[in-house]
Structure 1
Amino acid sequence: MDERVLDVVAVRDVGPDTVAIDFETPDAFDAQPGQFVKLTLPVEGEDVSRFYTISSPTVEGAFEITVGIDPDGELAPQLGALEAGDGVRIAGPFGSDYYEGESRAVVLAGGPGVGPAVGIAERALDDGNEAAVVYQDDAPVHEKRLDALAEAGALVTVIGSEESLTEPVADAVEDGGQVFIYGFADFLDAATEALEAAGVNTDDAKVENFG
């Protein structure tokens, strides 16, 4: 989709300093959980753009992104202040490492990687498939959705930043499945190490590095 202005449908608090923003889905917009879009807003007279991963299981009617609000950030505070009816310039979707109907999705998420994690896991269960989520964060967000996933049969493990990924990852991959990894570089390194320790070929993992 070429860049166009999309209306905000809703803004919701989903955890500490974190909001979920729903945007209207325009005609001919087709995206899968795990893909991302580019948002652009004017900040002090200059256009500022950032990429955010879609965190809703589908884009039917509307789609969601999850935004951590750093008060010193350049764009995030502007996004956190949005209200229903506001317009934002959005382009996309982008990305090739997303859910494609795999029979079992194993999503390893660090920090903001929880957005695509819940979207992929929800979509997998909605499709009649299986899902496992290992989420590392000292201030978890989307806890209601994570709880709902666990109640619906997904394997969900939430750990702190100082806890080892080795055992949770080994449990998550025990029954196989397509591995997805979303997070910052240090999390990707730790997740890859845990996967290798569990005997998983990491070349087959779908990975998105947030920087």
Structure 2
Amino acid sequence: MPTLTVAAVADVGPQTVAIELDAPASFDAAPGQFVLVRRPGGDDAGYYTISSPAVAETFEITVGYPVDESPEESLGTWLARREVGDEIEIEGPLGTIEYRGEGDVAVYAAGPGIGPAVGVAERAIESGHDATVVYRGDAPPHRARLDALAEAGATVAVVDSLDDLADFDADHPSVPTPAVYVFGFDDFVAEAKALLEAADRDPAEAAIESFGPA
């Protein structure tokens, strides 16, 4: 696996950091895709979705980590304690879900899905398109980026349940006509699919990335 150097680490929410990595010249990736991450010399590995809107000299992954756990017990904890100049083994990019600025988007996310959600939405806004981001949960990571997206014209909703979208501003329908992306654990994916079906949208037409059981 290629070894990449950490360019920056930033706290972006409760038990969540964004890690910026130096990108190899051949690294062609887009938000929505993911990488396999392993600590050098270790056996544990995990998948992390790209959360930067584009890849240039660097790219970003968003990492959640548990509370009160030693680096040896969790890859996420180990990653959260990285510093500039440290090395991380990366394989990828992987996955067929990606967004490269093709058109308007609506992104539904929960948990670690917030990473690709902000990356996709930022890429859309930067490309001159509309973006809607719906996050299910309290205190979402990347709050500053969500606020910046709203200031740039994106529609941003943070809800306790996707059912709450029934009370959302009528000027911003819960399932707009743009391409739909869904990022989250299995329970959230099921909730999002039900929302799409209720709005006469075919879930099979959405780009859906499930992270497995919560």
Match of residue 38, structure 1, among 22, 36, 39 = 36
Q: Distance in 2 between matches of 1:84 and 1:134?
A: 32
**Alignment partner, residue 120 of structure 2:** 120
Secondary structure at the counterpart of residue 97 of structure 2: coil
Partner of 1:58: 54
Match of 1:191 in 2: 192
State the alpha-carbon separation in 2 of the partners of residues 196 and 163 from structure 1. Answer: 13
Amino acid of the residue matched to residue 49 of structure 1? A
Q: Which is further off, 19-28 or 67-76?
A: 67-76
* 8 A contact 2:162–2:191 mirrored in 1: no
Unaligned runs of 5+ in 1: none
Q: How does 1:120-199 map to 2 (within 5 A)?
A: 120-160=120-160, 162=161, 164=163, 166-167=165-166, 171-174=173-176, 176-199=177-200
1:199 Cα deviation from its structure 2 partner: 1.3
Cα deviations across residues 162-185 of structure 1 (Å, max 9, x unaligned)? 5625525982423x1100000000
2:202 equivalent in structure 1: 201
Q: Which residue identity does 1:147 align to in structure 2?
A: D
For 2:84 and 2:203, the matched residues in 1 are separated by 41
2:107 is the alignment partner of 1:107? yes
Name which of structure 1's ranges 78-87 and 62-71 shifts more when overlaid on structure 2: 62-71
Question: What is the aligned partner in structure 1 of residue 9 from structure 2?
Answer: 11
Q: Give the TM-score taking structure 1 as reference length.
A: 0.92
Change (3 A) 1:26 1:165: farther
Paired positions, count? 205
* SS across alignment from 2:102: coil
CA RMSD, Structure 1 to Structure 2 (Å): 1.7
Structure 2 gap ranges (5+): none
Secondary structure class of the residue paired with 2:163? coil
Deviations 1:135-159 (A, max 9, x none): 1122311000000001101111011
Q: 1:134 to 1:163 in 2, by over 3 A?
A: closer
State the alpha-carbon separation in 2 of the partners of residues 114 and 93 from structure 1: 19
- Confirm or deny: 8 A CA contact 2:22 2:57 kept in the other structure: yes
Distance in 2 separating the partners of 1:30 and 1:135: 27
Residue 189 of structure 1 aligns with an amino acid whose one-letter code is A
Are 1:48 and 2:44 matched, yes or no? Answer: yes
Give the 3-state SS of the residue equivalent to 2:156 in structure 1: strand
The CA distance in 1 between the partners of 2:45 and 2:164, in whole Å, is 33
Contact (CA 8 Å) 1:165, 1:194: kept in 2 or not? Answer: no
Give, as a single letter, the amino acid of the residue that structure 1 aligns with 2:96: S
Letter in 2 for 1:101: G
In the alignment, the residues of structure 2 paired with residue 101 and residue 124 of structure 1 have an alpha-carbon distance, to the nearest angstrom, of 5
What TM-score does the superposition give when structure 2 sets the normalisation length? 0.90
Counterpart CA distance in 2 for 1:37 and 1:201 is 28
Q: What SS does the corresponding residue of 1:171 show, helix, strand or coil?
A: coil
Percent identity of equivalent pairs: 48
